[in-house]
A and B are shown apart, each in its own frame.
Chain A
Amino acid sequence: MDVLLTDEEKMVATSAREFLEGECSTTLVREMEESPLGYPAQLWSKCAEMGWTGMCLPEAYGGQELPLVYLGLVMQEVGRALAPLPLHSTVVTSLALSRAASTEQKEQYLPAVSEGRAILTWAFSEKDPRFKPETVQTTAVLDGDHYVIQGSKLFVDFFAASDFCLVACRTAQACAANEGLSLFIVDSKSAGISHVPLRTLAKDQQCEVIFNQVRVPKSCLVGKLNEGWPVMQEMLDVATVLLCTQMLGATRMDAEMAIEHAKFREAFGQPIGAFQSIQHTCADMIISIDGGELLAYEALWKMDNGMPAAVEVSQAKAFCNEKCIAVVRNAQSIHGGIGFMMEFDLHLWYRRVTAWAMRLGTSFEHRERIAHALLDIPGHIVLGGPVPATT
């Protein structure tokens, strides 16, 4: 038991920070808000060279096989710098592939990810944005040696930039909600696929992706037919906790900017940071961020140790959703008018953190998952002890 970072972990975080401080200016962040692809190809290649894309992939496929915690620390720095990269979507998808795909599929996709040659994304959500199996209505129907995909996916990250997309489809109708789902890895440029960019608060890359009679070979099925839900669930948990670390990195940077501002901005003959109302707000901001980090790190640590972590992931996301929004709002408040001027950088963090809080599960959804585990399953519960696994 030692919840502090080890020297190695600190080194990974520090080198990622130093790299991004040198490579990713807010000028670049602003440029990418206007770019149709949304990421700078050169920076993406450098990140792959740093080993970020293959960090947690098997060594056999060019990865480093490091624990997820390390990727969490890198995502934190990516969030801090607001680096406009398709890293989250690529690592989440590639990790799902490395867990569920066949050897042939792994050979096809994973080395390409490790080497930075392939950008991946995943598509789950549809009109009903909750992360429940019954919300998946897109169908994949067998037709000879192909599947035909028909449906529409929402809030797909970096689809325009992606080479391949992992798509959650319904492959059987008449069965319980958590059965009958399957995953397909699909070439993003396949005939019949079109996409509509969404204009988000973060001004980042999310799309609606429409599958109109898209024919994909049978070999695109990932994992077993009709048994895709557990793989999706695990993928969603990994995606959620990594988004938490990304949010936390961005939120801490935002808070640090506000604290620095408070030390130098003078009013009433004082730096405003000398006033207790500002000091106590800043103290609460840091306490919230620390709390979110501890929750997210514990979830990652449990995943790395093969323990159930669904409740821990939901704890982290529900907490981060509300606390990170509160922190960046307070940072705006401390800055006053300059904070919401376009030319000043603070809003870059504010808009992203708030938007990210809206993705991958609202506070209500995550808290219901926790409530179900706590209240609906018999047995005495002790804080810090095991909580029953939830579905």
Chain B
Amino acid sequence: MDFGFSPEQQQLRKDLIEFIRGNVTEQVIAEMDAAEDAMESSGQSRHLGQRGPHVTALFEKIAERGWLGYSYPKEYGGQGGDRISQNIIEEEFLRVGINISLAGSGAPAIMAAGTEEQKRYYLPKLIKMEYYFALGFTEPHAGADLAALRCRAIRDGDHFVINGQKMYTTSAHFATHIYLMARTDPDASRHDGISIFIFPMDTPGLTVRPLWTIQNNPRAPRGTCYGDARSNEVFFEDVRVHESTLLGKENQGWRVGSMGLNLDRVGASRYLRSVRRDEDIVNLLKTTDFGGYSPASNTAIRDKVAELWIEAQVCRLMTLRSMSIVERGGQFSYEGSAEKVWSPEHGVRTTEAITQMLGPYAQLLNGSPLAVEKGVFAHNTMGAFQSGINHGSVQIMRDQVAKRGLEMPSLRRAQKSK
């Protein structure tokens, strides 16, 4: 076992921190905030068009440094590097609120199941962030039980005609494409009649309607765990797409989708969402003084801070374990699911505990007088628990740990249904 980063990886982190200090300016952040505001209100905007000159220049520099798609093969626009280094890159950019992670992008599933042509077409554009996929999985009647999805894609010659609805499609208002899971064979068993399609958001018959989250008004500060103000519903009305938009084989979509999701659940993005409040509170308490009262001198608070810090280390180590497995070329048995139970639940525990350390100050939202750290703890109270719901709830993840990791039996009555 080796818990250390190589000299090259340590240097990479130093380079990143220096680059970010010099290049992620307040102008860049302001431009990104403004773009998000614009996208949320328009609803029909597209990813690329929203990049202002400072952000565009920043991303060109990031690409020049070779930090995009670091662990993806060179022939698909990546750098052919190692997974741990990619994690370092993603982590440092996420710390300043810039997500260049390919988790949740659809890229892992394309790598795993795409045709050569699809890989060559999509991966370079996803890596450069010229394309961005909205993940069309959840439906009004299919959330945790995703295999109950009803959105239909009916074959018509070499085309499919899609009808149905998707829900909580978080990035649909700025995505370029939809990564859609639809039912192609209603007579097959639940998992066997599903396919995945990737096609442009401006395909005729596709409409997007906003769903506003509890983080709307005021906007959550950058770094909030699930601070998205907007999610979406997506409607499909006789949407015609060519069969070449299929990812993987027809009716094989469940396997392809699960593969992508498994890889999306782990990595820097979810890890940082779960542990940033731990760093916040430790550094904040060093100097916090409420009218002469220093919470850092309170024995109960000190004990709690240490307890949370230990839990956060476990988040970090579980992420490194997942990365180690991926780097060795292995498959998760239950380790990814374990991480997806531990980290989100820790994020909730730490957020709730902090609110009890700071008391009434912690309830103040972004922009309020007296708000602590731009209200991040109040906004995190609205966001942290979301991490335990999306991308496979913690309950579903525990099922997977038990079934896949521990080979525990299924309920007998469950065997009757198909």
Binding site for B on A (CB under 8 A): 1-6, 9, 69, 259, 262-263, 269-271, 273-276, 278-280, 282-284, 286-287, 290-291, 294-295, 297-298, 301-302, 305, 315, 318-319, 363-364, 366-371, 374-376, 378, 380-384
Per the bound structure, the CA–CA distance linking A105 and B312 in Å amounts to 43
Return chain B residues, CB-CB under 8 Å to A384.
316
CB-CB under 8 A for A381 and B408, given A297-B3, A301-B2, A374-B306? no
Number of interface residues of B (CB under 8 A): 57
* Interchain nearest-CB distance for A2 vs B (Å): 5
Stretch from B196-204, B258-266, B322-330 at the A interface:
B322-330
CB-CB under 8 A for A375 and B282, given A284-B398, A286-B401, A294-B321? yes
| Chain A, interface SS category | helix
Per the bound structure, the CA–CA distance linking A384 and B9 in Å amounts to 14
What 1/0 flags go to B1-32 for Cβ under 8 Å of A? 11111100100000000000000000000000
**Are B1 and A297 within 8 A (Cβ)?**
yes
| Chain B, interface SS category | helix
**Are A69 and B342 within 8 A (Cβ)?**
no
* Chain B: CB-nearest residue to A9: B1
**Are B6 and A1 within 8 A (Cβ)?**
yes
Per the bound structure, the CA–CA distance linking A369 and B283 in Å amounts to 17
**Are B313 and A301 within 8 A (Cβ)?**
no
**Are A259 and B313 within 8 A (Cβ)?**
no
**Are B398 and A280 within 8 A (Cβ)?**
yes
CB-CB under 8 A for A2 and B302, given A259-B406, A380-B283, A383-B313? no
**Are A291 and B309 within 8 A (Cβ)?**
no
9 A-B pairs besides A283-B406, A286-B401, A375-B285 with CB distance below 8 A are: A2-B2, A3-B321, A263-B408, A273-B402, A273-B409, A276-B399, A290-B321, A367-B307, A368-B302
- Does B81 touch A at the CB level, under 8 Å? no
CB-CB under 8 A for A279 and B305, given A3-B320, A270-B412, A274-B408? no
- Does B314 touch A at the CB level, under 8 Å? yes
* Listed residue (B279, B313, B324, B399) with the most chain A CB atoms within 10 angstroms of its CB: B313
- Does B303 touch A at the CB level, under 8 Å? yes
**Are B342 and A381 within 8 A (Cβ)?**
no
**Are B318 and A294 within 8 A (Cβ)?**
yes
- Does B286 touch A at the CB level, under 8 Å? yes
**Are B310 and A318 within 8 A (Cβ)?**
yes
- Partner of B338 from the list A290, A298, A374 (CB cut-off 8 Å) is A290
Return chain B residues, CB-CB under 8 Å to A290.
318, 321, 335, 338
Return chain A residues, CB-CB under 8 Å to B2.
1-3, 301
Return chain A residues, CB-CB under 8 Å to B302.
367-368, 371, 375
* Listed residue (B3, B305, B313, B318) with the most chain A CB atoms within 10 angstroms of its CB: B3
- Does B296 touch A at the CB level, under 8 Å? yes
A-B contact pairs, 12 of them (CB 8 A): A1-B9, A5-B1, A279-B403, A282-B408, A291-B318, A294-B321, A295-B313, A298-B313, A301-B1, A305-B4, A371-B303, A380-B283
- Partner of B408 from the list A262, A291, A364 (CB cut-off 8 Å) is A262
* Interchain nearest-CB distance for B102 vs A (Å): 19
What 1/0 flags go to B370-411 for Cβ under 8 Å of A? 000000000000000000000000010111011101111111
Per the bound structure, the CA–CA distance linking A3 and B271 in Å amounts to 16
What 1/0 flags go to B250-291 for Cβ under 8 Å of A? 000000000000000000000000010011001101100000
- Does B229 touch A at the CB level, under 8 Å? no
**Are B324 and A3 within 8 A (Cβ)?**
yes
CB-CB under 8 A for A269 and B283, given A280-B398, A383-B278? no
Per the bound structure, the CA–CA distance linking A332 and B318 in Å amounts to 27
Return chain B residues, CB-CB under 8 Å to A259.
406, 408
Return chain B residues, CB-CB under 8 Å to A294.
314, 317-318, 320-321
- Partner of B309 from the list A2, A278, A374 (CB cut-off 8 Å) is A374
**Are B317 and A374 within 8 A (Cβ)?**
no
**Are A282 and B406 within 8 A (Cβ)?**
yes
**Are A2 and B341 within 8 A (Cβ)?**
no
**Are B286 and A2 within 8 A (Cβ)?**
no
CB-CB under 8 A for A2 and B395, given A371-B302, A374-B306? no
- Partner of A298 from the list B3, B328, B405, B407 (CB cut-off 8 Å) is B3
* Chain B: CB-nearest residue to A285: B406
* Interchain nearest-CB distance for A272 vs B (Å): 9
**Are B1 and A368 within 8 A (Cβ)?**
no
* Interchain nearest-CB distance for B82 vs A (Å): 9
* Chain A: CB-nearest residue to B296: A375
Return chain A residues, CB-CB under 8 Å to B316.
383-384
Return chain A residues, CB-CB under 8 Å to B278.
383
Per the bound structure, the CA–CA distance linking A320 and B276 in Å amounts to 24
Per the bound structure, the CA–CA distance linking A319 and B311 in Å amounts to 8
* Interchain nearest-CB distance for B341 vs A (Å): 6
- Does B103 touch A at the CB level, under 8 Å? no
* Chain A: CB-nearest residue to B312: A383
* Chain B: CB-nearest residue to A275: B411
Per the bound structure, the CA–CA distance linking A286 and B325 in Å amounts to 18
Return chain B residues, CB-CB under 8 Å to A2.
1-2, 324, 327-328
* Chain B: CB-nearest residue to A319: B310
* Interchain nearest-CB distance for B389 vs A (Å): 16
Per the bound structure, the CA–CA distance linking A325 and B338 in Å amounts to 20
Return chain B residues, CB-CB under 8 Å to A269.
412
**Are B282 and A318 within 8 A (Cβ)?**
no
* Chain A: CB-nearest residue to B5: A1
7 closest A-B pairs by CB: A279-B402, A367-B306, A283-B401, A294-B317, A371-B302, A370-B306, A291-B314
Return chain A residues, CB-CB under 8 Å to B3.
1, 3, 297-298, 301-302
Per the bound structure, the CA–CA distance linking A259 and B275 in Å amounts to 31
**Are B310 and A295 within 8 A (Cβ)?**
yes
Per the bound structure, the CA–CA distance linking A148 and B261 in Å amounts to 68
Return chain A residues, CB-CB under 8 Å to B5.
1
Return chain A residues, CB-CB under 8 Å to B325.
4
Per the bound structure, the CA–CA distance linking A315 and B307 in Å amounts to 8
**Are B412 and A274 within 8 A (Cβ)?**
yes
**Are A1 and B306 within 8 A (Cβ)?**
no
Per the bound structure, the CA–CA distance linking A363 and B311 in Å amounts to 13
Return chain A residues, CB-CB under 8 Å to B412.
269-270, 274
**Are B9 and A381 within 8 A (Cβ)?**
no
- Does B84 touch A at the CB level, under 8 Å? yes
Per the bound structure, the CA–CA distance linking A204 and B288 in Å amounts to 47
- Partner of B282 from the list A69, A279, A282, A374 (CB cut-off 8 Å) is A374
Return chain B residues, CB-CB under 8 Å to A295.
310, 313-314, 317
Return chain B residues, CB-CB under 8 Å to A364.
303
* Interchain nearest-CB distance for A275 vs B (Å): 7
**Are A69 and B1 within 8 A (Cβ)?**
yes
Return chain A residues, CB-CB under 8 Å to B1.
2-6, 9, 69, 297, 301
